[in-house]
Structure 1
Amino acid sequence: MKVLKEYLDYIEKNKKLSQNTVASYNRDLRKYMDYLNCKNINIVDVVENDIISYLIELEKDNISVSSISRMISSIKSYHDYLFFNRLTTSDPSKNIKKPKVKREEVEILTEEEVDKLLKFDDLSTPKKVRDKAIFEVLYGTGIKVSELIEMNLEDIDLDIDYIYCGSSKNQRVIPLCETTKFYLLKYINDSRDILTYPEEKALFVNAQGQRFTRQGLWKLIKKYAKEADINKNINPTTLRHSFAIHLLNGGANVAVVSKILGNSNLSSLQLYLKYIDKNIRKEIKEKHPRENDMNYK
């Protein structure tokens, strides 16, 4: 397991993968290693058929296609690391292909539903102020839940109205709108010190005064969605999807939205495009200076 730990340190420090991604790779590879141990197969002796047999076992256990796809990525990355560092003489995973994952429809909230979700009539307790600030930051910036929970107090600069996402490989600076800034400032000034300890670095903290977990934040989102009577399958990325689509519907530039989200290429925004209101397309067709220029051959 020493080599596995060295690999995990490598992808975190050199590849700049998020803690959440590293944790996923760790779980996937430990499960893979447990399988190899049960079969009395040493990692340096693994051949392609061993990996295929493991994937067949996963399918028998009704593991989802998306999970298997992620596990294959973990396995391929680990074997590539072993081969590159000459710990093995070959890479048995190089010809293993990931199954095609059917892209699911994104679940988004209407602007009216967002208003209901973000409507906090009661801000009388530090926890309520914290929760309000969390929702305003998620919807106001489009950051991932994993980025939010990894964010530290020092990543906020309210003098120039920016937050810094430095925990993931897509590091970026995101501007804050006035509403997001207001509630973030209120939380930092009025509530955070009551909820945690001076030495805690995390921006948002749970009931124990410690950094939120992904699961804890998910439960919080589910709780408020239920209270707002929103009958949709809301998950940690719902507000991120809604942020992007509402910006696009408002006429925002796709490249700008992509940069804010931290997407490495514009193709990752393609699944949003069908949600753009038809009137935007109509406006482009009617008002673009080249649309009515018929002098082409």
Structure 2
Amino acid sequence: MEQEIKGFVSYLHNVKRTSRNTELSYQRDLMKMMRFLHRQQVEKAEEVTETNLHSYILDLEKNGMSAATVSRNIASMKGFYLYLREEGTIAADPAEHLKAPKVEKKLPDILTVEETERLLNQPEERTAKGIRDKAMLELLYATGMRVTELISLRMTDVNWEQQYIICRDRNKERMIPFGNTARKALEQYREKARPELIGEQDCGMLFPNCSGKSMSRQGFWKVLKQYARQAGIQMDITPHTLRHAFAAHLVENGADLHAVQEMLGHSDISTTMMYTARTREIYEKAHPRG
């Protein structure tokens, strides 16, 4: 079964053009399923039955997996066995009738405007690293881009005159405007800090690490957590927190939902609509007649 899983991941990569994170998630879920099935003496993909898969789902639930995690695993199984069915590897799809548990959508914790300002003001602008960090945080909040998009930006992805960023993933690209505060932070970084960070190296990345190399997600996460602690923010903050703040603050101030959807790169507007639910929650708590 391992070879079939590798073939499926290759199909995702080459045909579906999915992200590396998506591919790793599918692979992780399916390898875990395979190990369970092997313990049940089910070795081959064509031997798997719907009962086997139900047993695996019960095992996940018994081990305390959340409804969201179980749902994700079921989605992985459905995608995998549909692929095998279409490839002719199996005659019938054992995952066809699996039902995912209902997942209650939890609104993300959102930084207030005041908390966001405290966070953005933490970097010390006396060092190249501090100036870089300030520019990264300002741009992240100004555009709502994903952290992987932020650390993948190249110098050529910035339109300095028109003040927009070009974000690319494997399927499409989108242009996101940024305001004057982010522009000033970026220009200061470009002039004062970036030359010091890259030295003599030929580096096209907009935001290299302190060695002049590409920054990792983990590297930026550590930077963000450090500034959150300095700002006295109690929330368990992640790079996605500023993306949520970007969207929520726009919606709270009356931004068009479809425009926010486009800037975030959401394919389904229902994902963006959770920020209107957040706005409704704030209204009901704050309005005297809410």
User: What is the rounded CA distance, in whole Å, between the counterparts of 1:29 and 1:200 in structure 2?
Assistant: 38
Check conservation: 2:122, 2:227, Cα contact below 8 A: no
Whether the aligned pair in 1 keeps the contact of 2:107 and 2:278 (CA below 8 Å) is no
2:243 aligned with 1:240, yes or no? yes
Query: Using a 3 Å threshold, how does the CA distance of structure 1 residues 59 and 215 change in structure 2: closer, same or farther?
Result: farther
Residue of structure 2 equivalent to 1:60: 62
Question: What's the counterpart of residue 181 of structure 1?
Answer: 183
**Taking structure 1 as reference, are residues 152 and 40 closer, same or farther at Cα in structure 2, changes over 3 Å only?**
farther
Tell me, yes or no, if the aligned pair for 1:170 and 1:262 is still in contact at 8 Å. Answer: no
Structure 1 letter corresponding to 2:242: L
State the Cα distance separating 1:199 from its structure 2 match.
Answer: 5.5
Task: State the match for 2:166 in structure 1.
Answer: 164
- Paired residue for 1:18? 19
CA offsets 1:231-281 (integer angstroms, 9 cap, x no match): 2232332211111111122221111111111122322222211443759xx
State the alpha-carbon separation in 1 of the partners of residues 20 and 183 from structure 2. Answer: 26
Deviation at 1:33, TM superposition (A): 2.3
Letter matched to residue 241 of structure 1: H
What secondary structure, in the 3-state scheme, does the structure 2 residue paired with 1:237 have?
helix
Mind listing any 5+ residue stretches in structure 1 that lack a counterpart? 283-297
Q: Distance in 2 between matches of 1:152 and 1:70?
A: 33
The amino acid of 2:264's aligned partner reads: L
CA contact (8 A) 2:165 2:176 kept: yes
Instruction: Give the 3 Å change call, closer, same or farther, for CA 46–14 of structure 1 in structure 2.
Output: same
For 2:112, the equivalent position in structure 1 comes to 110
3-state secondary structure, aligned to 1:12:
helix
Alpha-carbon spacing, 1:121–1:155, altered in 2? closer, same or farther (3 Å): closer
The Cα shift of 1:167 comes to 1.5
In structure 1, C-alpha distance between the alignment counterparts of 2:10 and 2:257, rounded to whole Å: 35
Structure-1 separation of matches of 2:204 and 2:89: 38
Distance 1:21 1:176 in 2: 28
What letter is aligned with 2:214?
R
The corresponding residue for 2:7 is 6
The aligned runs of 1:208-223 (5 Å cut-off) are 209-223=212-226
SS of structure 1 residue aligned to 2:151: helix
Looking at structure 1, the residues matched to 88 and 238 of structure 2 have their Cα atoms a distance apart, in angstroms, of: 42
Aligned residues: 280
Normalized against structure 2, the TM-score is what? 0.85
Contact 2:141/2:242 (<8 A) preserved: yes
* Alpha-carbon offset, residue 186 of structure 1: 3.3
Instruction: Kindly provide the amino acid, as one letter, of the partner of residue 7 in structure 1.
Output: F
Secondary structure of 2:273 counterpart: helix
Deviation at 1:151, TM superposition (A): 3.5
The corresponding residue for 1:32 is 33
- The TM-score, its normalising length taken from structure 1, stands at 0.83
Moved over 6 A (4+): none
How much does 1:44 deviate? 2.6
SS at match of 1:164: strand
One-letter code aligned to 1:105 = L
Does 268-277 or 16-25 show the bigger shift? 268-277
